[in-house]
Structures are given as structure tokens and as C-alpha cells.
Amino acid sequence: MSNQSPWSPRSAVLFPVLPKGEVLATFETYNEAQQAVEKLAVSDFPVKQLSIVGNDLKSVERVTGKLTYGKVALAGAASGAWMGIFFGVLFFIFSPTGSSLPFVAAALLIGAGFGMFFSLVSYALNRRRRDFTSTMQVIASNYQIIVEPSLVHRARNLLAGIADGGAHAAAPHPSEATRPTEPPAAGTEPPAAGTEPPAAGTEPPAAGPPAAEPPRYGVQTSAAGTEPPRYGVQTSAPDFEPPAKP
């Protein structure tokens, strides 16, 4: 005795149960869910492992208009005419003679007449109970795509636009990484705007000689290397010697 997989089509037909798996995505409309499945199919994804599940099914009746005798008669004549054409063509095909076109036209008119008559009678009997036209639809509040757990990551990558096994961006080599710039040494001026900072491993240019201090008014400046005389201190001439005693 062999156990069939719950994902096989045969088991789904024989035993109509809800598919089991992980929720791949949730959509508000069926068209969005259908487009997602088509995208996976184009990407060579095994779509046999997918299922679209509609949740919170609701029956919706959309009113399309009001019924009148004219609309009922026109609709009945159209449906009866199609039925008459069908029988007329069958009579034309199996007729031994080729002059059966008038019978086709007669069948069309007879069918339109009978269709109009029966539609008017039915509308007259049910007018008080139903006096409008509508269409019935069964829709869901949302639609979920269920996928086998082993394929959920691949399906999500494909829906996100990432190819299966795509190359990742290479990380920069540590030697190629940008080094942080060191702050300038104390006493050096920052580089002027528009100039490039010195390369790593090179010494900054030496600072020039300090600028001479401008003179200040009211302060006497002395010559370089000379000391101003001080009052009360005797200065001797460097070349004077006293005469020797006899």
C-alpha cells in the first residue's frame, strides 16, 4: 500500500482538502495572485507546488438594471432566434436538396417569436417578486498563495526580483578601505579650501619662520644684541688700563 502525497493532482481530485504549506504572499484580488503565479512560472519555478486559496468567501449579487416589458421581449427574442438558427442549420445540413435557406430564415423567425412569448409570460408572472436584473459572483476577502515549505525561500526571492543563485556585491578589501584622516598636529594650520590633504605616510610641510611682531607705539625698541644702560652702574671702557707705579 502506497501513500500518495497531498500535493499530487490525483489526491487533490479524490480528496478535496485544503492544501498544507506556508503562506507565500497574500493579495486582495485574484488577478494579483494570478500575476504572482505567472511570474514564478516564467522563472522556471515548479508551479505544481503552488495553490491559491480564497479566504472568507462571500456571495455577491450585483444589480445591473431594472426590468421592463421591452427589455424582456428583446432578450427573449434574441435567445429564441439563436435556438431557431441552430435547428435551421441542422435542417440545412441534412436536407437532400440544396434549396433549404428559406427554412433557416423561417426557423430564425419562429424561434424569436417563441422566445419573446415565453419571456413575456414568465416576466408577467414573476414581476412582483423580481423586477431587476443582476449577476451573481462568489468572491473572497483575500487570496493567499500556499507553497511547499522547502520551496518558500526560493519563491520569495523570485517574487522579490532576485534571481536564484545571484551574485552578491563583493565586500571591499581591507587594504582598499578608506583610512580615517588624522587630525593636524598642534600649531599647524588646516589646509586651505580646495587643496588635497597629504597622503598617508608623508609628513606635513614644515612651518615657516614666525613673522616679526609689529612695533607697538610708546615702547622703545633696542638694537639686536645690545642691552640698554642702567642708571647707577659704572661701565668701564674695555681697552683702558691704569698706569704702572715707579
**What pLDDT tens digit does each residue of the chain (246 aa) get?**
445 555 555 555 556 788 888 999 999 999 999 999 999 999 889 889 899 999 999 999 999 888 888 888 898 999 999 988 888 888 778 776 655 677 788 888 899 999 999 988 888 887 777 778 889 999 899 999 999 999 989 999 988 885 444 434 434 444 444 555 555 555 555 555 555 555 555 555 555 555 556 555 555 555 444 555 555 555 555 554 555 554
Q: Are residues 97 and 45 in the same domain?
A: no
Residue 114: inside a domain? yes
As for how many domains the chain has, the answer is 2
Q: Are residues 91 and 30 in the same domain?
A: no
Angle, vertex CA 118, rays to CA 74 and CA 111, nearest 5: 70
Q: Are residues 134 and 82 in the same domain?
A: yes
Q: Are residues 24 and 125 in the same domain?
A: no
Q: Which three cell numbers stand for residue 163?
A: 534571481
d(CA 12, CA 146): 14
Is the pTM of the predicted complex or chain greater than 0.95? no
Q: Are residues 144 and 134 in the same domain?
A: no
Domain limits for position 155 = 13-57+140-159
Q: Are residues 106 and 66 in the same domain?
A: yes
Q: Are residues 96 and 134 in the same domain?
A: yes
Q: What are phi and psi of 198, to 5 degrees?
A: -65, 145
d(CA 23, CA 145): 6
d(CA 225, CA 215): 18
